[in-house]
A and B are shown apart, each in its own frame.
Chain A
Amino acid sequence: MHAPASILPLHIDGLSFEAGGALLLDNVSATLRPGLRTVILGPNGAGKSLLLRLCHGLLAPTGGALRWGAFCNGDEERVRRRQAMVFQRPVLLRRSALANITYALALRGVRPRARRVAEARAALERLGLAPLAERPARVLSGGEQQRLALARAWALSPDVLFLDEPTANLDPAASRAVEAAVEAIHAAGTKIVMTTHDLGQARRLADEILFLCGGRLLEQTPAATFFHAPRTPEAAAFLRGELVG
C-alpha cells in the first residue's frame, strides 16, 4: 500500500474535553496545514497542553473529532507513527543517549540494528550531541536532555512534531539551542505545533498563532497580524501582559 506524502492537514472538528464535570476544552475547530509553524498561546489553564495531547492522541476527546488529511478512521496506528512529541520534561530512558534514539527507532520498525545506530548517530550529530552519544541520558544537563528529546523526535522523521513548552525549564543559552533545533526541524519539512508561555519565543518562531482562552479557541491568526492587531480583546489584553481568562 502506498502511503500518502503527509498525514496533514489536521482538521480539528469541534473538539471538546470534559473532566470531573469541568469543560476544559470547548468546541475547538481549526485546520493545521503543513509548512507553517503553529504556536498555541494563551494564559495558564487555557487548555494549550490539553489541545496538544488530544491532537497527538494521548487523550481521547469527550466531544468532536480529529481528521488527518487523507487518512480515514481506523488508521490511528499509522497516523501515530508519523507524529512525534517533545514534552516540557522529557522522559529519557535509563540508558545511553544513543540507545534512547535507537529504542525509539526500533519501535517504529527501523531494521536492522546497524541502520538504527547509523540513523541515531546522524540525529545526535544534527543537534551537536555526537560527543555525548555513549553518556547515560539521565546524567545530561537539562538543556542537553531537551536537545536529546528533540533529536529523538527528529530521528523519527515525523510529518508533525508537537512541542509542549519545550524551553520552560531551560536557561537562555539552552533555550536558544532548542529554538535553533526547532527551526532546523521546520526547515527539514516537519510541521511544528508548539505551546509556549514565552511571547518573545512565539514572535521568533511562529508563522501562525492559535490563541486559546478558557478552553475556547478565540483566534487562528497569522503571527504578524496577531502581534500587531489581535482581533479579540482577550488577545489584546494578553499581549499587554494583563491577566485574562
Chain B
Amino acid sequence: MNDFDTALATAWRLIAAGDAALMDIVVLSLGVSLTAVLIASILGLPLGATIALARFRGRDAVVVAINALMGLPPVVAGLFVYLLLSRSGPLGAYGLLFTPTAMVVAQVVLVTPIIAALTRQIVDDLWREYRDELTSLGAGKLRAVPTLIWDARLSLVTVVLAGLGRAMAEVGAILVVGGNIAGVTRTMTTAIALETSKGDLALALGLGIVLLTLVLVINAVAHFAGVAARRAAG
C-alpha cells in the first residue's frame, strides 16, 4: 500500500501548501453543493411537509415516485439537465451548460427528492402526534406546515445533511453538465475521477482525503449544534 502512504503525504502537502488550484476546487465544490442543498431545502422541506398533510387522489403514487427518485442515478439527472440546458434545449438560450450554475441545477434535481421524501416521513409521524392539538387550536393544514417543519427542525437537520452528503459525494451529474473544465467547473469529485483515469492515484486519493475531511467537519459541526439545541429545547 505504497500508494496510500504517498496519498496521505500528498494530501498533507496540498493542504499545508495552501495550493491555489486545490483551494479553487474546494471552494467551487463547497459553493456548488451548499447552494444546491440550500435551494433543494427551500423546495423540498415545504414540499415534503405538504405531501405529508395533503390528502388527494394519487397521493400514494406521488409518495412512491418521490421515494424512488431518491435513487435517481446522478448521470441520468445530469443527462436530463444537459438536454434542458444544451444549445438546442428549451433553456439553451441562457448558455448555462458547462457553468457552475448548471452543476447547481443538476444537484438540486438530485437532492430535492431526498429532502422531500425524508421530510414527508418525519412530518407524517409528527402530524399524527400534533393533529388533534393543532386542530383544536384552530390551525388549518396550511398553517400546520410551517409549525411542523419548525418543530421537527432537529430531525430535519439530519435530512439536510443527507442531502448535502449526496451532493458532495456525487460526480456523475456535475461531470455531464459541468464538463470538468479546470478552473471553471472542476470540483473535488470530478478532479478525483480525472486523476484516477490519468493514473495519478496518489493525487486522486489525496483529494479524496481532503474531501472526506471536509464532509466530516461539516457533519461534526451540525451534529454537535443539534445536540446542544436538543439539550436546550427538549
Contact = CB atoms under 8 A, between A and B. Distances in A.
Q: Which secondary structure dominates chain A's binding surface? A: mixed
Interface in A124-161: 136-139, 152
B24 to A, nearest CB: 41
B138 A107 contact: yes
B234 A58 contact: no
Given A91-B129, A94-B150, A94-B151, A56 B136 contact: yes
Contacts of A84: 136
A107 B143 contact: yes
B16 to A, nearest CB: 44
A87 interface: yes
Interface residues of B, number: 19
B147 interface: yes
B166 to A, nearest CB: 27
A207 to B, nearest CB: 24
Nearest to A140: B234
Interface string A54-96: 0010100000000000000000000011011101001101110
Nearest to B153: A94
A138 B136 contact: no
A136 B153 CA distance: 15
Nearest to B135: A58
A22 B234 CA distance: 39
Contact of A136 (B129, B134, B233): B233
A81 B138 contact: yes
Q: Which secondary structure dominates chain B's binding surface? A: helix
A176 interface: no
Nearest to B148: A93
A91 B130 CA distance: 6
Contact of A94 (B136, B143, B234): B234
Contacts of A53: 132
Chain A, interface size category, equals: 20 to 34
Interface string A89-112: 011011100000001100110000
A105 B13 CA distance: 60
A172 B96 CA distance: 69
A138 B233 contact: yes
B138 A80 contact: yes
A230 B232 CA distance: 51
Contacts of A94: 150-151, 153-154, 233-234
Interface string B124-145: 0000011011111111000100
A107 to B, nearest CB: 5
Given A93-B147, A94-B150, A94-B151, A139 B136 contact: no
B132 A58 contact: yes
11 contacts: A81-B138, A87-B132, A91-B134, A94-B154, A94-B234, A104-B138, A107-B137, A107-B138, A108-B138, A136-B234, A139-B234
Interface of A: 53, 56, 58, 80-81, 83-85, 87, 90-91, 93-95, 103-104, 107-108, 136-139, 152
Interface of B: 129-130, 132-139, 143, 147, 150-151, 153-154, 232-234
